[in-house]
Structure 1
Amino acid sequence: MLLSVRIITPLFVLLAGVQAKLNTDNCQLISSSESEKNALILLEPLTNQSFTVKGKDGEPYSYIFQVCGDAAGMKNAGLVQKTEKPDVLVRIGNYNQTRAIKGSDWILLIYEGGKNYDNHCSGEARKAMIMISCNGNAKNDFFVVLEDNKKKEGCYYLFELDTDVLCQKTPSKLSGGSIFLIVVFSCLALYLTGGFLYQRLVVGAKGVEQFPNYAFWSQIGNLSADGCDFVCRSRGNREEPPTYRGVATEPLGEEPEERDDHLLPM
């Protein structure tokens, strides 16, 4: 029994992987451009889901839609019309004939190759156009918009699917410096709040003494002020060097008085 479980479990895993790959690769693009391939990749979260909506104005049928899957079990049919009584399925579009046009927050998915019209649209094949749009408040809301079949060619069915799958997630733009500052200010706020409560409730401090480590921070402030005073202010009368005055700094001594008595006639 244990051996059977060991053999069967990997088989289930392998089959699940194959199924997941088919979900994304079933849609065959008519034009295999990279932009259309990228558009289909964005729709992968919508695979394996069936969306159903009633026809407009009380029409006696409903529409069933799948992204790259068999709608209502019909092979290759991405969107079908189901008549309630009798139970008849009409192929509207095939996912093996797909186009995908991508916009900023929408994708227009087009299924071509449906059942040919009988009496109008020149008997051309039916075509389904599903506008899949971003709506952050919607949970995959699917509804029919119109069937444009009042012309000779180019007829189509138009549907809309509102989903949050295509809404772009805004990445965080915080830099490393911003995160560092947030952490520093958060720690500072926690320190001030916790220290204030401790000083007030446990120590019983009042006034400015409630500030945590008040003595330490006041000493830091006084030392900073002293340093600024020492660097930025002059102390006393600074004497200019003699080279700028042009005279010696020592006081001059008294010169002996010159007498001219000897010049008088005797």
Structure 2
Amino acid sequence: MKVAHSQSGGSFLVWTLAVQLVLCGSGVYTSDSTKNCKLPAESDSERKVLSRLEPLAHKNFSVVTKTEKESYTYVFQLCGDAAGVPGAGVVQLDSKQESKPIVIGSYNSTQAIGGSDWVMLIYRNGDTYDAHCSKEKRKAIVMISCDRNMDAGPLEVVLEDRDREQDCFYLFEMDSSAVCPLIQSKLSTGSIILIIAICLLAVYLIGGFLYQRLIVGAKGMEQFPNYAFWVEFGNLTADGCDFVCRSRNRDEAPAYRGVVAEPLEEEPEERDDHLLPM
């Protein structure tokens, strides 16, 4: 009996050390990922939901519940061995009794349901109940909700529903930014291009102004970058606008004008009266 008790105490010590590592913030890192979760019926939609939880992989999350008679520690890991228990997604550790962990749910039987800002992870095929729920296997439901302010919030125990004949379950919840929808930009492509163009223009003007003033030593309007070019460009633009937009022909043909008859100068009348004999 002493030997049996010693073996039991040694096993409990191993699990207790594992939990202490969790409580100290030391996650149990393995080579597993969400692909290790086994779905009863393989589904692309469920795999897509699981892929959203990838940032939570390789981490243990724990919570301690205490009452006057009971004190339990629950450990959850996404598609990995919770508290080092092979195949267990959620386990329960009894802090007052030297007993092995109770597997509440196994990631070898996983179901994933997702919404726009939440994911419900269901682990089935846990250890059987001793006297409740018709001695069926335990089931864990982990509700993960969106919270952009934290990578992974604390795990909380919401409910242990075992006062029924069938379909009993443990309900947990936690918050994480991993399940939050992506924030789509409200700017159109044209707006983005316009912003980029304005930024480039500002860099050109400010940089050119500083270069002309500090390096070249220009004064007045000559501090404007490429001043001569822009002056000529403005003149050419004005000429082009005048040529295209104005209806008046700049090279008008001279209008026909009639020949104006100049008045003939009247010659003074020669008087030959002096030639007549007196």
Where does 1:1-150 land on structure 2 (aligned, <5 Å)?
20=31, 23-55=33-65, 59-88=70-99, 89-141=101-153, 142-150=155-163
Q: Does 1:166 find its partner at 2:179?
A: yes
Give the distance between the partners of 2:191 and 2:62, measured in 1 at CA: 48
Give the distance between the partners of 1:253 and 1:187, measured in 2 at CA: 66
Q: CA deviation at 1:81?
A: 0.8
SS at match of 1:227: helix
Distance 1:209 1:52, change over 3 A: same
Q: Does 1:213 find its partner at 2:226?
A: yes
TM-score norm. by structure 2 comes to 0.66
Q: Does 1:227 find its partner at 2:237?
A: no
Q: 2:206 matched to which residue of 1?
A: 193
State the one-letter code of the partner of 1:28: K
Q: CA deviation at 1:29?
A: 1.6
Q: CA deviation at 1:155?
A: 1.7
Give the unaligned 5+ runs of structure 2.
1-29, 262-278
Between the two proteins, the alignment pairs up a number of residues equal to 227
CA contact (8 A) 1:29 1:99 kept: yes
Runs of 4 or more consecutive aligned structure 1 residues displaced over 6 Å after TM superposition: 171-180
Q: 2:167 matched to which residue of 1?
A: 154
CA contact (8 A) 1:56 1:144 kept: no
Give the distance between the partners of 2:236 and 2:36, measured in 1 at CA: 76
Give the distance between the partners of 2:138 and 2:251, measured in 1 at CA: 102
The share of aligned pairs that are identical, in percent, is 50
SS at match of 1:165: helix
Give the distance between the partners of 1:125 and 1:33, measured in 2 at CA: 24
Distance 1:165 1:226, change over 3 A: same
State the one-letter code of the partner of 1:136: R
State the one-letter code of the partner of 2:90: L
Q: CA deviation at 1:27?
A: 2.3
Give the distance between the partners of 2:183 and 2:131, measured in 1 at CA: 50
CA contact (8 A) 1:55 1:62 kept: yes
Give the distance between the partners of 2:209 and 2:236, measured in 1 at CA: 24
Give the distance between the partners of 1:213 and 1:49, measured in 2 at CA: 60
State the one-letter code of the partner of 1:109: L
Give the unaligned 5+ runs of structure 1.
1-18, 242-248, 255-266
Give the distance between the partners of 2:251 and 2:49, measured in 1 at CA: 82
Distance 1:44 1:87, change over 3 A: farther
CA contact (8 A) 1:35 1:102 kept: no
Give the distance between the partners of 1:57 and 1:164, measured in 2 at CA: 32
Q: Deviations over 1:134-185 (max 9, x none)?
A: 3222232222222122333322111113222233445779898777655544
TM-score norm. by structure 1 comes to 0.69
Give the distance between the partners of 1:91 and 1:236, measured in 2 at CA: 96
CA contact (8 A) 2:151 2:178 kept: no
Give the distance between the partners of 1:94 and 1:36, measured in 2 at CA: 17
CA contact (8 A) 2:116 2:180 kept: no
SS at match of 2:38: coil
Q: Deviations over 1:165-210 (max 9, x none)?
A: 233445779898777655544332222112223444452513x343
Distance 1:37 1:229, change over 3 A: closer
SS at match of 1:189: helix
Q: 2:3 matched to which residue of 1?
A: none
Distance 1:37 1:227, change over 3 A: closer
